[in-house]
Structure 1
Amino acid sequence: MREFTSEKGATLKKYKHANIEIENGWYSVTILGGITRQVSENKAVNEEVGKLETMEPTFEFIIRKTIEKPEYTANFSYQFKIET
């Protein structure tokens, strides 16, 4: 995320996935879900630029390096469902 640029943001929007490189070790991962306001600019045929605001489902992954193996608390039966 330190090297996040508008080009990387455009790629994420286009392909809807991301890869990150992290060093070997133990990590705790928290997944947050919700709806966030997204603003995009659109250029019309007459070259007029307009802004479009939408609410989009969003997942945020918080990855923290730990010294020891973290306790396993995942719930794989949890339904990640965001209703708008």
Structure 2
Amino acid sequence: MSTYKFTEILNDLWDYFILADPFTLLDYTKQHDLPDNLITNITMTDFGDKVVKEGKMIPLSNVQNYPYTIYFNLTGENIELLKPENNLQIRQDGYLLEVTQEKICFFTIPYLKNYTVETVEKLVKIRKAQIKIPNGFYSVSILAGETQQEEGKEATFEFVILPVTEEYEFSAALNTSFKIVSG
């Protein structure tokens, strides 16, 4: 399958989502001897920028409290948010993502409060917006806006995920706001 769709994805009342292979992120934190509370490290130190630039996770900030439709597009073709009936509001290219355990998950920031093996195992059991993908490095473009769904327009994130070499250079803007205006 080249495009995966998930509906009714909630942000747990936080204004952040995270896209990552949760096991890759966990291994990285252990290798760098970071505390289990990653929220502090991400927001109060240079670790946040470093982990994003190295492709261990992609944060989406300023996310409104809506139910979201999520698309994972693995071909770069037939991009949902570029269709004329939809409303593309934000596009950010140039992210890098490393996958080491054949899994990408879209999850909320509270999981980073106590980021342990147990937390990651719980995350992959209960979060529905996740896909299996071969290990390797990927370029990620994030498109955000509204798509026409059966119930009307719905806030949407679409991730265009394409394989690249390890030498792919991160070029995304680190402080992009992903605030979708519902209208």
Query: Do they fold alike, i.e. is TM over 0.5?
Result: yes
Q: Which runs of 5+ in 2 are unaligned?
A: 10-127
Query: What is the TM-score when the length of structure 2 is the normalising length?
Result: 0.31
- Aligned positions of 1:1-84 closer than 5 A: 2=1, 12-14=6-8, 16=9, 17-39=128-150, 53-84=151-182
User: Which has the greater radius of gyration?
Assistant: 1
Q: 1:64 to 1:3 in 2, by over 3 A?
A: closer
Q: Secondary structure at the match of 2:131?
A: coil
Measured against aligned partners, the alpha-carbon deviations of 1:11-46 in whole angstroms (never above 9, x if no partner) come to x335x241112222111010111111110xxxxxxx
Q: Which runs of 4+ in 1 moved over 4 A?
A: none
Which structure's residues are more often strand, by fraction?
A: 1
| Equivalent residues, number | 64
Cα distance in 2 for residues equivalent to 1:35 and 1:65? 26
Which structure's residues are more often helix, by fraction?
A: 2
Aligned-residue identity in percent: 41
Cα distance in 2 for residues equivalent to 1:3 and 1:61? 12
Q: Which runs of 5+ in 1 are unaligned?
A: 40-52
Query: What is the TM-score when the length of structure 1 is the normalising length?
Result: 0.62
